Amino acid sequence: MDRVTFYAMPGSLYSAKARSYLQTHGIPFDEQAPGGARYNDVVVPAIGRWIIPVLETADGTLIQDSIDIMDFLDATEAPERSAYPEGSVLRSVGHVLELFAGERLLRPAMHYRWDFDEMNVPFLTKDFSAALAVGADDDTRDATFAFASDRMRSAKEAFGVSDELVPEIERSYLEFLDLLDAHLAHAPYILGGRPTIADHAFMGALYAHLARDPYPSVLMKQRAQRVWRWTERMRTSDLDASEYVNPVADLFADDDLPETLHALLTYVGEEYLDEAVAQVAAVDQWLTEHPDVTDGEVVLGKPNRRFSGITTFNWRGQPMTVAVVPYRLFLIKRLQDAVAAASSADQESIRQVFTRAGLDPLLDIRPQRWVERVDNREVWGPLGEAVLPA
């Protein structure tokens, strides 16, 4: 592939997801900051909003969103190098881990970035302003960081981080680190011997926030060394896996998933199912209240609107209130589309794995309209019949 331009920030969660694909597949790219002139003068008007990451090809084609970027790049890869497992069970597992990693892990990512100012802010001030105020003087860079910091701290609350829930958020994250660290004892990547959509999705929170920011990076190194090593491995096209005995590029077999992967999926079910269901139900309620929505209409009317309200669900025995993010329906639909493309026998195998983990409702739930991606925007899909849990 010809050299591409990647508009991103080192500390950006979704940038890390797409960047790791470029890195592990050895695709030549130049990274440019979103504070640069071309991004603001050319990319933003074309995309219709300030958002990263964005990929620009040699012919000037612009692709926004980490998933669209990976899908575009992956279309040129041989099956044995694809980020999408050939096995239907493993592919479905990859999609549900993608959903969890990109959305549920926002909570520890935001908490450990914005609630430990003494250690983090000296680093973040320079890290953010270097990308957002390219070439500016110190006063401008400090003001730029202050503005970005205020916005991100508000987003932290929207994703469910509150003083009352912080102790459980930390306990939950440490449990997750322990489970993933134990799983990585068996293979260099999450689904076996090569990186897949699960790995790229986890790189968002686990690298951009939790392995780079000072406070959580020390925590990860002390608590989960294999996870830290995995973040290093996910930034090279070489198999940096000398601690494994004769590693090969094969993925796990659909009918032989390791128990550590089942344990990780069970954790995902316990931690995220209720929130995912609450998100779908809340978007469906919004659609009921807005019956004039049409097929292909930009979600919420403007590309830069992310939240459609709030919803509350029970998490670890406590009520949690979060912003409703319609984009998450796009991710759930990806999972269901992958299942629908599988054979009848494989669909039954998928359901068995998901039922064991308590995730099977995600295979059936649907709102009146799904969220789709067209021309670098989220749009409403066709009207259908909602299927929501009692």
In this predicted structure, the answer to whether residue 390 has a pLDDT above a threshold of 80 is: no
Read off the pLDDT band of 53 (50, 70, 90): very high
DSSP designation for 363: G
Strands (E), 116-258: none
Task: Note whether 99 and 331 are within 8 A (CB).
Answer: yes
How far apart CA 202 and CA 226 sit, in angstroms, is 14
Kindly state the greatest CA–CA separation across the chain: 62
Predicted local confidence at residue 285, as pLDDT: 97
CB burial readout 312-346, b (16+ within 10 A) else e: ebebeeeebebbbbbbbbbbbbbbbebbeebeeeb
pLDDT of residue 138: 87
Query: What percentage of residues in the chain have a pLDDT greater than 70?
Result: 100
Q: What is the CATH number of domain 4-77?
A: 3.40.30.10
- Tokens representing 38 are 């071309």
pLDDT digits 0-9 by tens, 207-251: 999 999 999 999 999 999 999 999 999 999 999 999 999 888 899
Half-sphere exposure (Cβ direction) of 374: Cα atoms closer than 13 Å: 11
Distance CA 194, CA 85 (A): 10
CATH classification number, 88-233, choose in 1.20.1050.10, 3.40.640.10, 3.40.50.300, 2.40.30.10: 1.20.1050.10
Instruction: Please tell me the distance from the alpha carbon of residue 327 to that of residue 49, in angstroms, as a whole number.
Output: 15
Pair 198, 98: CB distance under 8 Å: yes
Residues 266-295: tens digit of each pLDDT:
999 999 999 999 999 999 999 999 999 999
Tell me the helices (H) and strands (E) count for the chain, helix number first: 15, 8
Dump strand ranges (E) for the chain.
4-7, 29-32, 54-56, 62-64, 310-315, 318-323, 371-374, 377-380
Mean pLDDT for 44-55 is: 95
* Residue 117 DSSP symbol: H
In this prediction, residue 308 carries a pLDDT of 96
The percentage of the chain sitting over the pLDDT mark of 90, rounded to a whole number, equals 93
Separation CA 187–CA 264 (nearest Å): 14
* Dihedral pair phi/psi, residue 238, rounded to 5°: -85, 155
> What's the mean per-residue pLDDT of the chain?
96
**Model pLDDT, residue 191:** 98
Domain boundary assignment for the chain: 4-77, 88-233
- Following DSSP, what letter does each residue of 228-275 receive, concatenated? HHHHHHTT-SS---TTSSS--SPBPPTT---HHHHHHHHHHHHHHHHH
Residue 174 backbone class (left: φ over 0; alpha: ψ -120 to 50; beta: rest): alpha
Cβ proximity of 346 and 352 under 8 Å = no
Cα separation, 182 vs 325, in Å, equals 31
- Residue pLDDT, tens place only, 24-33: 999 999 999 9
pLDDT range class, residue 1, cuts 50, 70, 90: confident
pTM: 0.96
**Same CATH fold, 88-233 and 4-77?**
no
Residue 64: predicted pLDDT: 97
Structure-token pair, residue 140: 């401008």
DSSP string, 71-110: HHHHTTS-GGG-SS-SSHHHHHHHHHHHHIIIIITHHHHH
